[in-house]
Amino acid sequence: MNDNLPDEALDQLFRKARTYNAFLPTPVSDEQLRQIYELAKWGPTSANCQPMRLVFVKSAEAKARLAPHLSEGNRAKTLAAPVTAIVATDYAFYERLPQLFPHADAKSWFVGNPALIEVTAFRNATLQGAYVIMAARALGLDCGPMSGFDNAGVDAAFFPESQVKSNFLINIGYGDPSRDLFPRSPRLAFEEACAIV
């Protein structure tokens, strides 16, 4: 596991990957969605807590439930995407720690500590959402991650009376480079963003 990935793979994952606003009318299968999760689940989380929960919005009925909660600028492109993943956070994640982190009483670290629950859940579910993006790209799909939606509305529609709360959305499909693809935005140079101490 010490070999560098070839440049072609690094381009697909990072350098040439783009955030797409429009997708080709090519469907994404349920099996592809399973493959995305099966890759993404291996990304590290603290104490293996795995607080991310995903809802893949694919059906017309589910899209109709999502639509009212999207910002005006995100509605049309999201409804046209083959799939939209709701990346959510389970704030009761610690209930599963006896299964996921069995070699310590990790659940006791969180019970009665809402501040630790909040920061741990949000950080790690967000990390896992990034793993979903990378997994989708690794499988030849394109992504359009975004905020710009009513979290409370999405939570009521998809996670009613639950400890699961929405974080961000990812449109998934095969990107259409001929439509709504902005010029690549600049990135900070190493010297602007990093220090070696």
Q: CA-CA distance, 113 to 17, in Å (whole number)?
A: 39
Token pair belonging to 28: 């994404």
Q: Supply the range of the domain harboring residue 123.
A: 19-175
Residue 112 CA: distances (Å) to CA of 90, 92, 108, 118: 16, 11, 8, 12
Let me know if residue 194 belongs to a domain. Answer: no
Let me know if residue 153 belongs to a domain. Answer: yes
What pTM value is reported for the model?
0.96
pLDDT digits (tens, 9 = 90+) for 25-48: 999 999 999 999 999 999 999 999
Let me know if residue 60 belongs to a domain. Answer: yes
Let me know if residue 11 belongs to a domain. Answer: no
- Beta strand spans in 64-163 (E): 83-90, 142-146
pLDDT digits (tens, 9 = 90+) for 122-174: 999 999 999 999 999 999 999 999 999 999 999 999 999 999 999 999 999 99
Let me know if residue 145 belongs to a domain. Answer: yes
CA dihedral of residues 65, 67, 71, 76 (deg, nearest 10): 160
Q: What is the CATH number of the domain that holds 122?
A: 3.40.109.10
Neighbour count for residue 154 (Cβ, 10 Å): 23
Let me know if residue 192 belongs to a domain. Answer: no
Domains identified in the chain, total number: 1
